[in-house]
Amino acid sequence: MAKEGQSGNPAVAEVEAPVIGPGHTYASVTDKISSIVLTRKTPRAWWIGFTITFLLTMLLLYSIGNLLVRGVGLWGVNVPVGWGFDIINFVWWIGIGHAGTLISAILLLLRQEWRTSINRFAEAMTLFAVANAALYPLMHMGRPWLAYWLLPYPNTMGTWPQPRSPLVWDVFAVSTYALVSFLFWFIGLIPDLATLRDRAKNRFVKIVYGILAMGWRGSAIHWQRYETAYLLLAGLATPLVVSVHTVVSFDFSIGIIPGWHATIFPPYFVAGAIYAGFAMVLTLTIPIRSYYGLEDFITMRHVDNMGKILLATGLIVAYGYMMETFMAWYSGSKYEQYMILNRMQGPYKTLYWALIVCNVVVPQLLWSQRVRRNLIALWIISLVVGVGMWLERFIIVVVSLHRDFLPSAWGMYRPTAWDWSTYIGTLGFFLALLFLFIRFLPMISIFEMRTLVPHPAGKARH
Amino acid sequence: MSSIQIERGKLDLAALRERLARAHGRQYWRSLEELAETPEFRALLENEFAPGVTDWENQPSRRRMLQLLGASFGLAGLTGCTKQPPEKIVPYVRAPEDVIPGKPLFFATAMTLGGFASGVLVESHMGRPTKVEGNPQHPASLGATDVFAQASVLTLYDPDRSQVVTRGGRISTWVSFVAEVSRVRESLLARKGAGFRILTETVTSPTLAAQLRDLLREMPEAVWHQYETCNRDQAREGARLAFGEPVHAVYRLEDADVILALDADLLGSGPGAVRYAREFARRRRPYETGAAMNRLYVAEPAPTVTGAAADHRLPLPAGEIEHLLRVVAAAVGLNVANAGTSAPNDWVKAVAADLLQHRGRSLVVVGDQQPPTVHALAHALNEALGNVGRTVVYVEPPEADPSPQMASLRQLVDDMKAGRVETLLILGANPAYDAPADLEFARHLRNVSLRIHLGLYDDETAALCQWHVPETHYLEAWSDARAFDGTVTIQQPLIAPLYGGKSAHEMVSAWSGKPDRSGYDIVREYWQRHYRGSDFETFWQTALHDGVVAGTASPPKKVAVRKEALAIPPSSRGRGVELCFRPDPTIWDGRFANNGWLQELPKPLTKLTWDNAALLSPRLAERLGLANGDVVELRCGQTSVEAPVWILPGCADNSVTVHLGYGRRRAGKVAAGAGFDAHRIRSAAAPWRRDDLEIRQTGRRKALSVTQEHHSMEGRHLVRSATLEEFHKDPHFAHHVAHDPDPKLSLYPGFKYEGYSWGMVIDLNACIGCGACIVACQAENNIPVVGRREVARGREMHWLRVDRYFEGSLDEPSIYHQPVPCMHCDQAPCEVVCPTGATTHSAEGLNQMTYNRCVGTRYCSNNCPYKVRRFNFFLYADWATESLKALRNPDVTVRSRGVMEKCTYCVQRINAARIEAEKQGRRIRDGEVVTACQAACPTEAIVFGDWNDPASRLARLKAQPLNYGILTELNTRPRTTYLARVRNPNPALERG
């Protein structure tokens, strides 16, 4: 973080910070970004990071293998707590993914050009998060090899998914989301892949990027079609930002369990997802930015804006907590009231208060611009929010289930070593994919960054 | 089958018949082809396995297909371990020639516990006993069973049972054993049996007793000892003290308006408990006009199911029972000395007044673990209250020899110590484990030069004996036994001995020089000799068919309490904390330790599984600074044992209760590592209670597996109760506490149930929480055992659980039981959330699971407000153990890993009844479908039936004002509902 010169200077902070550092030309942008992939020597730190995360990925595979052979009983789930780390992490990962889609689609439509430098990275993050998220519902099933029964396909058994179940909606929501996110990311990559193809020296690399570039020549018609497709996909992806987590929230709000059955869930979940997503983007971009020296592209303005979004969504989430508590009291239902009291005073009360601290108290620091522009502070806050959002899902999934209606059936949930190894494994898998991504693909959109370079006429496009 | 024969054409059936007729002895044949020894069959045999398997890949010809069909037909006959016993046994309903595949037959027999028989009907599928039901004609059963009878069928198939005769730990044979016996017998006869001892458990079998007496006549110097842990020494001695002879008390609870049970688990354990529970419950139906409600007072050291059912329960140390009884007796007018009581004065007064008010209609019962003087006092009290002949009758003891067993064992040990015992024959008993530690039975047993053990298991005692002979299970052997009232049942086997075991009859017969006589011959001959009528064959058939020998119930005996009984001065009080020993509610004295169903059955009050614990009151725990699971050292004199603590509200202060039967060292894989051995601190002088207990913390902890961690209802209206007075004032009291949504509020019309509409009512007035329903459900529905660790993780599989709640003060709580099966909600929350449609609603109202369709998301379980769904987190069902395969109910799927399961209302029984009804072109009659839990219930608390039939018992109960559903405010519309509990407290004692 050596180069973060502006943050301490209030005079600079007064004016709107630029979205690209001064002095860049088209060529310098292209050089700088593509060199990470093509020319620069793979740094030692990359190797170390990749090796660790690769090993963690192996841990994930080992955990999954064991799970498939021995059964879902390896996890801490039980009756009454039928869902544990599986669904917590599913929701958590899906939520993290949301920032990517939001940045790339909604901010694109809203013409927030500051998104350009972070969208590629955020989209990749989305994709990898969704890949992890999608693992969980598969793994959590008692008989995962029959997962395809949730798909509506004609079969000799004459059966069909049961359309009233939110889990079936989930299948559609998540698979659509994964597909659109992938397409969006991949189409956005095509011009840059072509750039890499053109710049690559090694023949093999040339061929690989050439295939991936799908014959992109940069002709006007290509650009015209590209822009149309990209905009269409952005239009498609935009409702997904809202719909996916809305549907995920239905998994709970359709249920009758106190702590689940609440109408506030869809907006509250979406806000929470964006909250967690932006926190994750910050968590990842801040170190990468300084390691690869990308301060010119991911400027303090980006960081500041993301801090603001974090604050805004954090406030929505805090409102959600407040409303849950209020509605429990207002409902007059003893089950709802007990649910809230149990969160606050029950055996998992530490986690609940930790959640309030992480998600409500700490982010209030972001009201201060000084904090927002202090990279270390922001990075720590982003980590805290990530933990807080994980705790939120723990509270919703586990603490609601463990004490529902009949006290005789109440129980406790204790994650097992396998729960942790699977979770840590998915973290490793996520990071390993990110390592591969920053090594083999341009992590910042080269051609879009070029549009930000001050035009020869002295004006940026748009 | 016929099509096969027609197709093959080659079989000469007439020749086959002839060959069979010519054959001598038993002929096991697998198929007609085998019988005919056709070349095709030989070829088939050769191809039956590996080489033939590949044939499936080719298109099998029609001919080949039929051959394979023949093979499966042959294999069906090959189930070698399910041979019918060779002798003729008489089915309960139909003759054996009626055997129809898929149609179970029922045979009457009896299970004994502590020697006392309870009649059972055993369901047999193609020669495999799979399920035990009660025998309605048997006085100790009346159609219901206890947990032990329900679980006994698992013991039959237990793969850990001993399977072979061993000598010095090496495999031997019955033939060489018999050779040894005849050699020893010769020398014994020469010495008139000197040095020969036989040790049995309690014997009520007339045949075995006669055999033993015959043997003793041959060898007058030999001695027959009896010992089992849960013997009735104290009761017998009490009767001897009171009447001069050891008569046996039979209670008639139906006629008792006021019952005082002192440390007596009248409804939960001991001979006749199942019947007593039913008689008790028949008088707990406030909604029925007729007999008025009875009133039960209980004083006991630790809660039992009887205490939980009481209208007034007083936690009182076992040592204080005598003093309480003396004060009550004095208040009733008996001239007995008393030393005051720690029981509250108003309690004593109210009880005494109530007893006096109900002269001739009251009953005082004392538990088997109380000392003889207390029994004698109770007899005197019953006599003074005019209860004798009305609520209690005295009969000859059903035991063949009611002499004190502890003294008998002590005599045996003394003689072993002195070297006076040369040959010891142990029949069934396991004294190396369950003799009081201070006798040092195991040590002195080594002084005996020839030690022989006959037992179901290669247990602690077997390990110390040179010879061990596997014993037959009661479902494998011919025998007879008496019930608590003397009624005899001739026990018939359902299956030939799985492991070639020998019954006690056959063993004793071998010692009488007749080793070849079968149990059948022995038992039949005994009855032939004793039958006075003319037509023995009809008598025999009827006795076997009915499961009871008519007219064998003991006639009442006239006895009078002797003056001396009342002259005994009050015993002195111990200081400090007492320690009570009690049989375990689920594994009894340890004989069921290797039975997974019973190990996993939650103890009725503690809900503990797989372990025993030192039970103590919250107040004592507080004083000693103990928490649940703390391991303490219980020290009595020189002996000590380490035990985990379990705090049980309702325990008396200064009293610690431990259950026997755990800490088995050699009982099998299931029992291994379960609990601690309380026998190690028992002494022969004080087998049931010690007052020299010291408790010391060890600082260690032990994780105990309980199925219910939360014991308060949290102000939720789950068990609804009122006093009789309140009920009379407001019969609808159960409906005022919850708001049931109006079914008409929905925009959509409700589903109309045109045909049947199944439902269940559970009467909380009747339920005593014994758990028989749970084991019955487990047996009927092939429910797996998951083990201690999985229970601790909240993964027990019982489809039906019995919730137990405490209410009121921590020290003297009211205790409630509530059985919770699936509610089969009409608006089932589980059904909407299943993504694959694996759980659906039937047109008859059943919430049904399609296991094949289940992918295991567990969403249904999460969304079930009653949490009655159970998930196979692992492959819990044992698919590997060969013997357990025969145990399974063929009408119920054995579930695999990863699927959800739950109560089906025994849909297989509904369908069996439906087939019968449709064959006869009628509707299923009321009472024709009896669920497994309902059948087992001793108190008739569970009623199942068709809601659409207004005349059904179910519909009538559903119309009762007491009928309510739980969590109906969620609009689930449960089909399982409850009858609110009405208590009948003494107005003089009701506080607040």
- B43 pLDDT higher than 70: no
| Chain B interface test: which of A170, A397, A403, A408 (most B C-beta within 10 Å) | A408
- B792 pLDDT higher than 70: yes
Query: In the structure, what pLDDT confidence band is assigned to residue A137 with cuts at 50, 70 and 90?
Result: very high
Q: What is the pLDDT of residue B52?
A: 39
Residues of chain B with Cβ-Cβ distance to A407 below 8 Å are: 710-714, 716, 718, 805
- Assign B713 to helix, strand or coil: coil
Q: What is the pLDDT of residue B742?
A: 79
B832, two tokens = 């909407």
CA of residue A385 relative to chain centroid, distance = 13
| Chain B interface test: which of A67, A74, A77, A79 (most B C-beta within 10 Å) | A79
What H or E segment, with its residue span, contains residue B107? strand B105-113
Mean pLDDT value across residues A224-249:
88
Answer whether B958's CB lies under 8 Å from B759's CB. yes
- A9 pLDDT higher than 50: no
- A452 pLDDT higher than 90: no
Query: In the structure, what pLDDT confidence band is assigned to residue A15 with cuts at 50, 70 and 90?
Result: very low
Q: pLDDT tens, A66-122? A: 999 999 999 999 999 999 999 999 999 998 888 778 877 777 777 777 777 778 888
Q: What is the pLDDT of residue B38?
A: 57
Q: In A, residues 156-175, which contact B (CB 8 Å cutoff)? A: 159-162, 164-168, 171
Which of B716, B836, B856 faces A72 most closely, judged by CB atoms? B856
Contact A404 B858 (CB under 8 A): no
pTM for this entry? 0.88
Average pLDDT, rounded, for chain B: 88
Average pLDDT, rounded, for chain A: 86
What H or E segment, with its residue span, contains residue A211? helix A203-213
Calculate helix-pair angle for B206-218, B504-511, nearest 10 degrees: 20
| Chain A interface test: which of B799, B804, B834, B857 (most A C-beta within 10 Å) | B857
Sheet strand arrangement including B467-470 = B170-171, B166-167, B467-470, B450-455, B423-427, B196-200, B223-226
- Strand pairing report for B870-871 and B639-647: unpaired
| Chain B interface test: which of A139, A153, A256 (most B C-beta within 10 Å) | A256
Give the gap in angstroms from C-alpha A141 to the nearest C-alpha of chain B: 5
Query: May I ask the CATH class of domain B166-231+401-473+494-533?
Result: alpha beta
CA–CA gap between residue B1 and residue B70 (Å, rounded): 9
For the beta carbon of residue B732, count every other beta carbon within 10 angstroms: 12
Give the gap in angstroms from C-alpha B874 to the nearest C-alpha of chain A: 5
Cis status of the peptide bond prior to A80, with omega within 30 of 0:
yes
Contact A143 B897 (CB under 8 A): yes
Q: Which residues pair with B467 in a beta bridge?
A: B167, B452
Backbone φ, ψ for residue B700 (5° rounding): -95, 165
Query: In the structure, what pLDDT confidence band is assigned to residue A299 with cuts at 50, 70 and 90?
Result: confident
Contact A408 B869 (CB under 8 A): no
Residues of chain A with Cβ-Cβ distance to B970 below 8 Å are: 256, 405
Q: What is the pLDDT of residue A14?
A: 41
Contact B865 A73 (CB under 8 A): no
Q: Is the dihedral of CA A37, A38, A42, A43 positive or negative?
A: negative
Q: pLDDT tens, B337-378? A: 888 888 899 999 999 999 999 999 999 999 999 999 999 999
Tally of residues, chain A: 462
Q: pLDDT tens, A332-351? A: 889 999 999 999 999 999 99
- A301 pLDDT higher than 90: no
CA–CA gap between residue B911 and residue B914 (Å, rounded): 5
Mean pLDDT value across residues B663-690:
90
Q: Is the dihedral of CA B834, B837, B843, B846 positive or negative?
A: negative
Q: What single DSSP character describes residue B980?
A: P
Give the gap in angstroms from C-alpha B878 to the nearest C-alpha of chain A: 14
Contact B872 A404 (CB under 8 A): no
CA of residue B694 relative to chain centroid, distance = 34
ipTM: 0.90
Give the gap in angstroms from C-alpha B606 to the nearest C-alpha of chain A: 12
Q: Where in chain B is the domain with CATH 3.40.228.10?
A: 248-395
Q: What is the pLDDT of residue B51?
A: 41
- Strand pairing report for B479-482 and B976-979: unpaired
Residue B28 corresponds to which amino acid? Y
Q: In A, residues 384-413, which contact B (CB 8 Å cutoff)? A: 401, 403-412
CATH code linked to domain B721-983: 3.30.70.20
Residues of chain A with Cβ-Cβ distance to B867 below 8 Å are: 79-80, 404-406, 409
What H or E segment, with its residue span, contains residue B621? helix B618-624
CA–CA gap between residue B871 and residue B895 (Å, rounded): 10
Q: What is the pLDDT of residue A297?
A: 77
- A425 pLDDT higher than 90: yes
Interchain CB contact of A81 with B (< 8 Å): yes
Q: What is the pLDDT of residue B267?
A: 93
Contact B835 A167 (CB under 8 A): yes
- Chain A residue with the nearest C-alpha to that of B967: A405
Query: May I ask the CATH class of domain B248-395?
Result: alpha beta
Q: What is the pLDDT of residue B392?
A: 94
- Strand pairing report for B170-171 and B166-167: antiparallel
Higher pLDDT: A5 or A80? It is A80
Mean pLDDT value across residues B509-534:
91
Mean pLDDT value across residues A212-217:
90
CA angle (B861 as vertex; B856, B866 as ends), nearest 5: 160
Q: Which residues pair with A44 in a beta bridge?
A: none
CA–CA gap between residue B70 and residue B52 (Å, rounded): 14
- B289 pLDDT higher than 80: no
Q: What is the pLDDT of residue B69?
A: 64
Beta-carbon contacts of residue B188 (< 8 Å; ≥ 6 apart): B194, B195, B196, B219, B222, B423
Contact B874 A168 (CB under 8 A): no
Q: pLDDT tens, A30-73? A: 777 777 777 778 888 899 999 999 999 999 999 999 999 999 99
CA–CA gap between residue B7 and residue B838 (Å, rounded): 41
Contact A143 B855 (CB under 8 A): yes
Interchain CB contact of A417 with B (< 8 Å): no
Which of B803, B832, B873 faces A72 most closely, judged by CB atoms? B873
Interchain CB contact of A73 with B (< 8 Å): yes
A40, A9, A109: which is closest to A294 by C-alpha? A40
Q: Where in chain B is the domain with CATH 2.40.40.20?
A: 578-706
Sheet strand arrangement including B758-763 = B942-946, B758-763, B976-979, B963-964
Q: What is the pLDDT of residue B836?
A: 92
List the domain boundaries for chain A. 17-152+161-452
Query: In the structure, what pLDDT confidence band is assigned to residue B845 with cuts at 50, 70 and 90?
Result: very high
Q: What is the pLDDT of residue B80?
A: 46
b/e code B310-333 from CB counts within 10 Å (16+ = b): bbbbbbbbbbbbbbbbbbbbbbbe
Higher pLDDT: B67 or B744? It is B744
Interchain CB contact of A345 with B (< 8 Å): no
Beta-carbon contacts of residue A206 (< 8 Å; ≥ 6 apart): A197, A200
Q: What is the pLDDT of residue B565?
A: 82
- B269 pLDDT higher than 60: yes
Q: pLDDT tens, A353-381? A: 999 999 999 999 999 989 998 999 999 99
The region, left, alpha or beta by phi > 0 then psi within -120 to 50, assigned to residue B741 is beta
Interchain CB contact of A223 with B (< 8 Å): no
Give the gap in angstroms from C-alpha B634 to the nearest C-alpha of chain A: 31
| Chain A interface test: which of B706, B873, B874, B973 (most A C-beta within 10 Å) | B873
Q: Where in chain B is the domain with CATH 3.30.70.20?
A: 721-983
Answer whether B721's CB lies under 8 Å from B908's CB. no
Q: pLDDT tens, B135-189? A: 999 999 999 999 999 999 999 999 999 999 999 889 999 999 999 999 999 999 9
Query: In the structure, what pLDDT confidence band is assigned to residue B77 with cuts at 50, 70 and 90?
Result: very low
Interchain CB contact of A140 with B (< 8 Å): yes
Q: What is the pLDDT of residue B25?
A: 47
The fold of the A17-152+161-452 domain, in CATH, is Formate dehydrogenase/DMSO reductase fold (1.20.1630)
Higher pLDDT: A238 or B652? It is B652
Query: In the structure, what pLDDT confidence band is assigned to residue B71 with cuts at 50, 70 and 90?
Result: low
Q: What is the pLDDT of residue B14?
A: 61
CA–CA gap between residue A184 and residue A187 (Å, rounded): 5
Radius of gyration of chain B (CA): 29
Calculate helix-pair angle for B519-530, B504-511, nearest 10 degrees: 80
B892, two tokens = 């119920």
Q: What is the pLDDT of residue B253?
A: 93
SS3 content of chain A, % helix, strand, coil (to 5): 75, 0, 25
CA–CA gap between residue B942 and residue B278 (Å, rounded): 12
The fold of the B578-706 domain, in CATH, is Barwin-like endoglucanases (2.40.40)
Answer whether B176's CB lies under 8 Å from B156's CB. no
Interchain CB contact of A87 with B (< 8 Å): no
- Chain B residue with the nearest C-alpha to that of A170: B835
Contact B805 A408 (CB under 8 A): yes
Q: pLDDT tens, B603-638? A: 999 999 999 999 999 999 999 999 999 999 999 988
Q: Where in chain B is the domain with CATH 3.40.50.740?
A: 166-231+401-473+494-533
Q: pLDDT tens, B932-977? A: 999 999 999 999 999 999 999 999 999 999 999 999 988 899 999 9
Q: What is the pLDDT of residue A459?
A: 45
CA–CA gap between residue A302 and residue B429 (Å, rounded): 83
Question: Mean pLDDT lowest for which of B341-345, B371-375, B583-587, B872-876?
Answer: B341-345
Contact A150 B856 (CB under 8 A): no
- Chain B residue with the nearest C-alpha to that of A169: B835
Contact B709 A256 (CB under 8 A): no
